[in-house]
């Protein structure tokens, strides 16, 4: 993890990008990662959402084939990368559940 020398052992944006590209290739689709703000001015919060689309043309136009989200922990920018990797991991688990019949496809 951590693509540059002299950084923490946590993931960085390059690790997230590599994981997303690998999942997109594995699943034969397009993977996106979005930040969704919520909360209040006094208590701002953020959710990281990872989604799988059939192809790049479907992104933002059609409903994703699958998606997963995690709450972004407060703290450093490394927390954003860690949350994005966790969202991708949760998306992988969701796709696996759908493939073995535990979740409805597209539901």
- What confidence tens digit (pLDDT) does each residue in 3-42 have? 555 556 778 899 999 999 999 999 999 999 999 999 899 9
Q: Which listed CATH number (3.30.160, 3.90.550, 2.30.30, 3.30.420) goes with 13-99?
A: 3.30.160
On whether the pTM is more than 0.75, the answer is yes
β-pairing, 44-53 with 66-71?
antiparallel
pLDDT in tens, 81-107: 889 999 999 999 999 988 887 765 554
In angstroms, the CA 40 to CA 101 distance is: 38
Sheet strand arrangement including 66-71: 30-39, 44-53, 66-71
In three-state secondary structure terms, 36 is strand
Beta-bridged to residue 103, according to DSSP, are none
> Residue 53 pLDDT more than 80?
yes
In three-state secondary structure terms, 73 is coil
Domain borders along the chain are 13-99
What is the model's pLDDT at position 98? 87
What is the model's pLDDT at position 107? 47
């Amino acid at each position: 993890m951590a693509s540059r020398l002299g950084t923490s052992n946590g993931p960085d944006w390059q690790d997230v990008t590599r994981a997303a590209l690998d999942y997109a290739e594995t699943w034969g689709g397009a993977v996106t990662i979005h930040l969704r703000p919520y909360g209040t001015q006094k208590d701002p919060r953020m959710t990281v959402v990872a989604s799988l689309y059939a192809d790049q043309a479907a992104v933002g136009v059609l409903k994703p084939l699958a998606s997963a989200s995690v709450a972004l922990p407060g703290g450093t920018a490394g927390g954003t990368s860690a949350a994005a990797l966790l969202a991708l991991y949760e998306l992988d688990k969701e796709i696996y559940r759908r493939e073995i019949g535990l979740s409805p496809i597209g539901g």
